[in-house]
Amino acid sequence: MRAKYLSLLVAVLLFASCGSNNKRSASNVLGKQHLPSQLFSVDTEKDAVLVTRQGCIIRLPKGSLQSDTRTVELEIREALTNTDMVLAGLTTMSGSQPLSSGGMIYFNAASGYKIEIKKQVEILVPTKTYNRNMQLFRGDSVNAKIDWKDPQPLPKDETTLKIESGEALYKANCASCHKIDQYFTAPPLIGITDRISRARLYALTTHDPRFLNGELLTENSWRTTDTSKLDPVQRGYIRDHMASDSSSLLNANDLAWIYVYHKCLQRKYSPTEMTSFLNLTEKDLDNLYAYVKSESDRMAPGMKPGKDCCDSCADYEVAKQYLLGNRERLVAQNDYFFNLDRDIPIPPVMDTTPPESTEASAAVVEVPYTKITPGNTRGTYYSINILATGWYNIDILLKNYNGCVESELFVRLQENYKIDMTVNLIIPAYKTFVQGGKLKNGKEYGFDENDGRINLPQHTLAYIIAFAEKNDKLIFAKRSFNTQTRQTIELEFREISKEQLGAEIRALKLDDINAEVGESKNAEQLKKIDATLKETEKLKPKNCDCGYLPMAANTTPAVQDNLK
């Protein structure tokens, strides 16, 4: 009898051990082993600036770190993309509430070193879209997972101050006619900074009637790309109203585009003319459109702005004229769009010899994979300040995101597996990665409330990935869908190896939605314009009445004929 009980006990222990190992190895399939450590050697008694592989900038003032040794080695990990977060198992959850992330970073001493932060350390985290409502969450490890807690406002920096100033300018000058995200007495401004080049946008905003009515256009205006070839009136306008930066200058092609665009707006909205804002300086316009861009990013993350009817009309008419001229003109206006970039100074590295053997006057920064380039770097950043080591995440609760509404999302497994599944929801445009659990009905999975409720953006690409370990293999399922207020996602599983899981996740291309376009803004238009004059009709807007837009009286008949 005793032997029987002993055999039973051994069997129970073996069963428990197998279950524990299965659970542990399944939970470790996605983990921080997929996130490489970056090691930096710094001198604690000198100022230092570190630049990470993905472009985070860490400013370490002299004396900010205290250690037993003057030279310490720091370990940095960063998860700025959807793919990084998913492979590392870094879910975007605060308790049970889903978050939208702006990027995660880990800052600590490397193995064998100890540090204590005595002065505030500033970290700049690069971003492609900027949401000023983001907060800084601190990572708290719970059961080998990180829960994001204690949200704090982001500190004010150059970007936030610019946006606040721009908001005041918008309310004082624009809000009576323009709304950001909907039509009013004038068109909405959402996405306009990514749709119209900076030079054209600023000229339209100052609203000088001389070129809005075509007074600065001549027949030659349609064909020249060289500003020096413009007539004195045109050059004078550009000198007086546009920045010295050549990327801000209007060329003749811009003047023609603005004229057609303005006439189209008049037809579409009202013959009442928009107020001229010649009093707004370039700095004012920078601040104003910093606010417009940040609101656009906040309201529609990952949005690829479509063309307005009037954009299409202007593109069509100017392209038609272009084919009578030369290709250089479009290339000359090809690019500078508004952004929230700022210049960040990076001090040069004068020496990488350990400080014990040299008295070098500059900060010693050792980066195993690269050297810091002296000078400046430029980009859009979130600023965070930290006083303790560990994980940090720039986030906003998904329920607080503009456009997110209470929804119901259920995940149903088509086969009756007896083991618990790891089920995750990924919303790439919002950098949201949420782990789900079984609902109270015991049959389906959900992601926030145990009845399937969750706040979601609508009509947005999302993915469900699910997996569990079974006989040293993974059973895996994935499904893409567009979010709605109520839906059930059914999953079919198949066996894959652990090594294949990373490839399956990378194959989703979770970061393509936010990827920068490698080609210039006008690349597609350039391809079309390289076609023949006959093919130009392909650019003519469909279901959009551009109308006949007669030129100003002083414009030559040849130009007027070409516009017909």
**Is 412 a residue whose pLDDT tops 60?**
yes
Residues 239 and 346 in one domain: no
Range 62-66 contact pairs with CB under 8 angstroms and sequence separation of 24 or more = 63/118, 63/119, 64/117, 64/118, 64/119, 64/120, 64/121, 65/115, 65/116, 65/117, 65/118, 65/121, 66/115, 66/116, 66/117, 66/118
Q: Is 392 helix (H, G, I), strand (E, B) or coil?
A: strand
Can you read off the two tokens belonging to residue 232?
């004195």
Q: Are residues 351 and 319 in the same domain?
A: no
Give the single-character DSSP code of 220.
G
Residue 344 has pLDDT above 70, yes or no: yes
pLDDT, position 322: 53
Q: Is 14 a member of any domain?
A: no
pLDDT tens digits, residue range 454-475? Answer: 999 999 999 999 988 877 778 8
pLDDT tens column, 536-553: 565 667 766 665 444 433
Give the pLDDT band of residue 389 (cuts 50, 70, 90). Answer: very high
- Domain assignment of residue 2, yes or no: no
Distance CA 441, CA 553 (A): 75
Give yes or no for a contact between 334 and 520, defined as CB atoms under 8 angstroms apart.
yes
Q: Is the pLDDT of residue 93 over 50?
A: yes
Q: Cα separation of 307 and 168, whole Å?
A: 27
Using pLDDT thresholds of 50, 70 and 90, give the confidence band for residue 258: confident
Q: What average pLDDT score do residues 481-489 get?
A: 94
Tokens of 283: 């700095």
How far, CA to CA in Å, does 238 sit from each of 119, 234, 246, 286, 431? 48, 6, 11, 17, 42
pLDDT band at residue 252 using 50, 70 and 90 as cut-offs = low
Q: Where does the pLDDT of residue 211 fall: very low under 50, low under 70, confident under 90, or very high at 90 and above?
A: low
| Residue 381 in domain | yes
Residue type, 264: C
| Residue 305 neighbours by CB distance under 10 Å | 15
Same-domain pairing of 332 and 349 = no
Please determine, for residue 166, whether its predicted confidence score (pLDDT) is greater than 80: yes
| 392: amino acid identity, one letter | Y
Name 145's Cβ contacts closer than 8 Å, sequence gap at least 6.
89, 91
Q: Side by side, which strands form the sheet with 48-51? A: 48-51, 57-60, 121-126, 381-386
Q: 219 and 335: one domain?
A: yes
Q: Are the C-beta atoms of residues 406 and 98 closer than 8 Å to each other?
A: no
The confidence score (pLDDT) of residue 428 equals 93
Q: Is residue 526 part of a domain?
A: no
What is the rounded distance in angstroms from the CA atom of residue 344 to the CA atom of residue 50?
12
Mean pLDDT of 509-523: 54
Residues 117 and 228 in one domain: no
Q: Where does the pLDDT of residue 315 fall: very low under 50, low under 70, confident under 90, or very high at 90 and above?
A: confident
Question: Is residue 296 classed as helix, strand or coil in its secondary structure?
Answer: helix
28 has a pLDDT exceeding 50:
yes
Residue type, 221: S
Q: For residue 45, which phi and psi values (nearest 5 degrees)?
A: -100, 15
346, 469: one domain? no
Residue 73 confidence (pLDDT) above 80: yes
Please report whether residue 10 resides in a domain: no
Question: Among the listed ranges 129-138, 344-353, 516-525, which one has the minimum average pLDDT value?
Answer: 516-525
Q: Is the domain of 408 the same as that of 547? A: no
Q: How many helices (H) and strands (E) does the chain have?
A: 13, 26
* Count of structural domains, the chain: 3
Q: Is 363 or 546 the better-scoring residue by pLDDT?
A: 546
> For 111-119, what is the mean pLDDT?
94
Query: Closest by alpha carbon to 349, among 339, 362, 338?
Result: 362
Residues 412 and 377 in one domain: no
Paired residues of 71 in beta bridges: 43
Average pLDDT over residues 495-502: 86
Instruction: Tell me whether residue 160 is in a domain.
Output: no
Q: What is the pLDDT of residue 139?
A: 94
First-to-last C-alpha distance (Å) of the chain: 103
Confidence band of 443 (pLDDT split at 50, 70, 90): confident
DSSP three-state, residue 140: strand
d(CA 279, CA 369): 50
- Structural domain ending residue among the three candidates 398, 416, 437: 398
For residue 163, tell me if it sits in a domain.
Answer: no
For 346, the enclosing helix (H) or strand (E) is strand 342-346
Q: Which residue in this structure is represented by tokens 């082993």? A: 33
DSSP β-ladder status, 494-496 and 473-482: antiparallel
Please state, in angstroms and rounded to a whole number, the distance separating the CA atoms of residues 489 and 239.
Answer: 59
Type of residue found at 124: L
Query: CATH no. for residue 56?
Result: 2.60.220
Judge residue 494's burial from the number of C-beta atoms within 10 Å of its C-beta, 0-12 exposed, 13-18 middle, 19 or more buried.
Answer: exposed
Token pair of 3, please?
A: 């032997």
pLDDT value of position 323: 53
89 and 224 co-located in one domain: no
Could you count the other beta carbons within 10 Å of the beta carbon of residue 463?
A: 20
Note the pLDDT of residue 243.
Answer: 44
Which three-class secondary structure string do you get for 504-545? HHHHCCCCHHHCCCCCCCCHHHHHHHCCCCHHHHHHCCCCCC
Q: At 127, is the pLDDT very low, low, confident or very high (cuts 50, 70, 90)?
A: very high
Sign of the torsion formed by the C-alpha atoms of 547, 550, 552 and 555 = positive
Q: Domain check: are 185 and 309 in the same one? A: yes
Mean pLDDT of 341-347: 81
d(CA 260, CA 254): 10
Q: Per mean pLDDT, which range of 47-61, 205-219, 353-367, 375-389 is the poorest? A: 353-367
Encoded amino acid at 84, one letter: D
Residues with Cβ within 8 Å of residue 42, at least 6 apart in sequence:
48, 50, 60, 65, 71, 72, 73, 74, 363, 364, 365, 366
- Collapsing DSSP to helix, strand or coil, 12 comes out as helix
Q: What is the mean pLDDT of the chain?
A: 76
Hey, what are 264's tokens?
């189209």
* Residue 119 sits in the same domain as residue 247: no
pTM summary value: 0.76
- Which of 137-146, 158-167, 456-465 is least confident? 137-146
Neighbouring residues of 285: CB distance < 8 A, sequence distance ≥ 6: 202, 205, 206
Q: Which domain does 146 fall in, by range?
A: 32-155+342-398
Stated length of the chain: 564
Give the Cα-Cα-Cα angle 227, 550, 318 (nearest 5 degrees): 45
Contact between residue 533 and residue 193 where contact means Cβ atoms under 8 Å apart: no
Do 187 and 326 share a domain, yes or no? Answer: yes
The answer to whether residue 15 is domain-embedded is no
